[in-house]
Amino acid sequence: MTDTATSAPPSIERVGVIGCGQMGAGIAEVCARAGMDVVVHEVDAASAERGRTRLLGSFDKAVARNKMTEEERETTVSNLTFTTDLADMADRRMVIEAIIEDEAMKTDVFTRLDGIVTADDAILASNTSSIPIMKLGIATQRPENVVGIHFFNPVPVLKLVELVTSLMTSKETVARSERFAEDALSKVVIRSKDRAGFVVNALLIPYILSAIRMMESGFATAEDIDNGMVEGCNHPMGPLALADLIGLDTTAAVAESMYSEFKEPLYASPAMLSRMVEAGLLGRKTGRGFYDYSH
């Protein structure tokens, strides 16, 4: 008898993406450009139209920069379908959840998908930055099929994917997910155990929070902090500009999840970060964060 964990796993051609914000749109784009049949779900028609506009704008930029031909653009657009009905995920072989970093909302999505997606071996994946995959897995009757596939922003540009497995994730799910990311999407995969923050954010978030505390204390300006890391450490972007790119709400949510699990004071959100999130100053996506992007 063939060992299904070691034999070549079947390819994944029908993908669902839940959420078409910054991350969801990027995930939908790379899947559609890889030739997959992609169904994108949003909560209402207006959100779906915004997502569609975001994707078309990305394709137009790619054509203008000679990264995509007009023919490739048309083919990629034809691979995308938008819906507001979660039931349209029924025939998908992989569904990737990419909604906001809220545990209750993500858990609800996984519970609903469990009752909708028909294939017994369909993979239910989350793009979560920090929420333990086990919590999402046990919201379903198939935790062995639940995995974290964490992309990085901007998804079409950055190669890295964190593959996060819970204690219940099967070897077959891991093999198929890795093949999907590496072979179909040409991503670089690193594996992580199921702990808040995974690999990258466990290192990155304390760094960003330290920069916020430094600015908050009046020790240095945002510009000087960022220039120090760019010019002194050869980082492509300073920590505060990076927080604006990630989204301050996402940064705070990851910090909260890590602090909840480890109770490490360095993971606690600085008051400045909390107040900025409350004020809706979330970074690039709202036009203002540590820097002003409105002009």
CATH number for the domain spanning 224: value is 1.10.1040.10
Contact 51, 38 (CB under 8 A): no
Closest-CA residue to 9 (of 191, 174, 190): 174
pLDDT in tens, 251-282: 999 999 999 999 999 999 999 999 999 999 99
H helix intervals, 95-221: 103-116, 133-137, 171-179, 200-216
Average predicted confidence (pLDDT) for the chain: 94
Same domain? For 184 and 267 the reply is no
Same domain? For 46 and 149 the reply is yes
Q: Read off the pLDDT band of 234 (50, 70, 90).
A: very high
Radius of gyration of the chain (CA): 19
**Residue 22 domain-assigned (yes or no):** yes
Known catalytic residues?
129, 150, 162, 201
Report angle CA 101, 114, 79 to the nearest 5 degrees.
75
Same domain? For 238 and 180 the reply is no
Beta bridge partners, 289, equal none
pLDDT of 5 reads 43
Same domain? For 111 and 130 the reply is yes
Same domain? For 189 and 219 the reply is no
Percent of the chain at pLDDT exceeding 90: 94
**Residue 240 domain-assigned (yes or no):** yes
Q: Read off the pLDDT band of 10 (50, 70, 90).
A: low
pLDDT in tens, 163-222: 999 999 999 999 999 999 999 999 999 999 999 899 999 999 999 999 999 999 999 999
**Residue 222 domain-assigned (yes or no):** yes
Q: Element (H or E) spanning 80, and its range?
A: strand 80-83
Same domain? For 105 and 127 the reply is yes
What is the layout of strands, in order, in the sheet containing 37-41? Answer: 80-83, 37-41, 14-18, 94-97, 123-126, 146-151, 160-165, 188-193
Q: What is the CATH number of the domain that holds 107?
A: 3.40.50.720
Q: In terms of residue numbers, what domain contains 209? A: 200-285
pTM: 0.89
Same domain? For 163 and 47 the reply is yes
Same domain? For 206 and 189 the reply is no
Same domain? For 267 and 221 the reply is yes
Closest-CA residue to 81 (of 42, 23, 128): 42
Same domain? For 164 and 205 the reply is no
pLDDT in tens, 32-64: 999 999 999 999 999 999 999 999 999 999 999
Same domain? For 277 and 227 the reply is yes
Q: Is the pLDDT assigned to residue 75 strictly greater than 90?
A: yes
Q: How many domains does the chain have?
A: 2
**Residue 260 domain-assigned (yes or no):** yes
**Residue 207 domain-assigned (yes or no):** yes
Listed residues 166, 193, 220: the one ending a domain? 193
Written as one letter, the residue type at 272 is M
Same domain? For 110 and 156 the reply is yes
